[in-house]
Amino acid sequence: MVKIGIVGGTGYTGVELLRILSNHPNAVLAAITSRTEAGRPVADLYPSLRGHTDLYFVEPSDDALSGCDLVFFATPHGVAMAQAPALLARGIKVVDLSADFRLRDLDVFQQWYGMAHTSPEWAEKAVYGLPELNRDDIRSAALVAAPGCYPTAVQLALAPLLKAGVVSPDDLIADCKSGVSGAGRGANVGTLFAEVNDSFKAYGVAGHRHLPEISQQLALAAGAPVGLVFTPHLTPMTRGIHATCYARLTQDVDLQALFEGAYADEPMVDVMPAGSHPETRSVRGSNRCRLAVHRAPGSDRVVVLAVEDNLVKGASGQAVQCMNLMLGLDEGAGLGAIGLLP
């Protein structure tokens, strides 16, 4: 059994890691840290874990994590780049769920996240953790930067078109919706029930932190810079991402065959039959992204619909998928949960 640690286990991505790893056939939770909850049983904070873990939260320290084979950082931006290098120096692998190691251009990181990067040497070595597009590099990585929730859905929707060279890379649109849990567990007036229930709104139209990440990765898929309009929206649901992505075709192509071929061997991506409209509820609680591809009637526009659970395939489940690859385990280990319906 591999020994796993979690830094920052009190947020939504932290508890998702706990839920998934508690049932993982090849992993044991060795330590979970929290400055604010140190000494408290994990199951007291998250009663859904009663009977599944006897762990207590502990103060974050290198010693608490020293016996781990791999450590997840489910922390705010800035924490992993300060603390992960010491673990990496001891041979402990790291998966970071924050944005600390996602962007290659550290000036862009400072522009969007408002802080200077303190570990540029590891930022250069980090591997971007989207297995469907980067599996071989993840297998050999010491440090993996788990993608954001929106970037995961948008990349899985648009990458096959860009890699095949059948759409214009400078005319891409991603119109995306997220459940409220994507904002995190911290108290915020804007995410109170009375503020979001029976309402729907766009946000970050002038610029969202996931924009440079998505643009960076789509440019790699296209082999050229991309022009992307990305607009996120907040929806009155707890979990889920729905991305409606548009691109302009440059040649006629069998779109259904293209997507089915691109993801034929990908167990975590489900290309639905032609004409389908995937629903967020079909993937709630699962590590699956469902896609459907359409051609807009009378137009050269292709429309790709992508749905995922923002806390699973969009965060913690994908991080465990990366962990499995990094530690030589079955990629799908611990990730077999079926979406919750109704």
Q: How far apart are CA 3 and CA 93, in angstroms?
A: 11
What one-letter code names the amino acid at 23? N
What is the CB neighbour count within 10 angstroms for residue 218? 24
DSSP code of residue 213: H
Cα-based distances in Å from 36 to 10, 73, 189? 9, 16, 22
User: Which of 341, 304, 331 has its CA nearest to residue 155?
Assistant: 304
Max CA distance (Å), the chain: 63
Q: How far apart are CA 117 and CA 82, in angstroms?
A: 9
Residue 149 falls in the annotated catalytic set: yes
The DSSP result for 74-111, as a single string, is ---TTHHHHHHHHHHHTT-EEEE-SSTTT-S-HHHHHH
What is the CB neighbour count within 10 angstroms for residue 177? 22
Task: Name the strands in the sheet holding 143-145, side by side, starting at the edge strand that comes first in the sequence.
Answer: 57-58, 27-33, 2-7, 70-73, 93-96, 143-145, 127-128
The DSSP result for 4-60, as a single string, is EEEES-SSHHHHHHHHHHHT-TTEEEEEEE-TTTTTSBHHHH-GGGTTT---BEE--
Q: Which one from 149, 176, 245, 289 is the annotated catalytic residue?
A: 149
Give me the active site residues, please.
Answer: 149
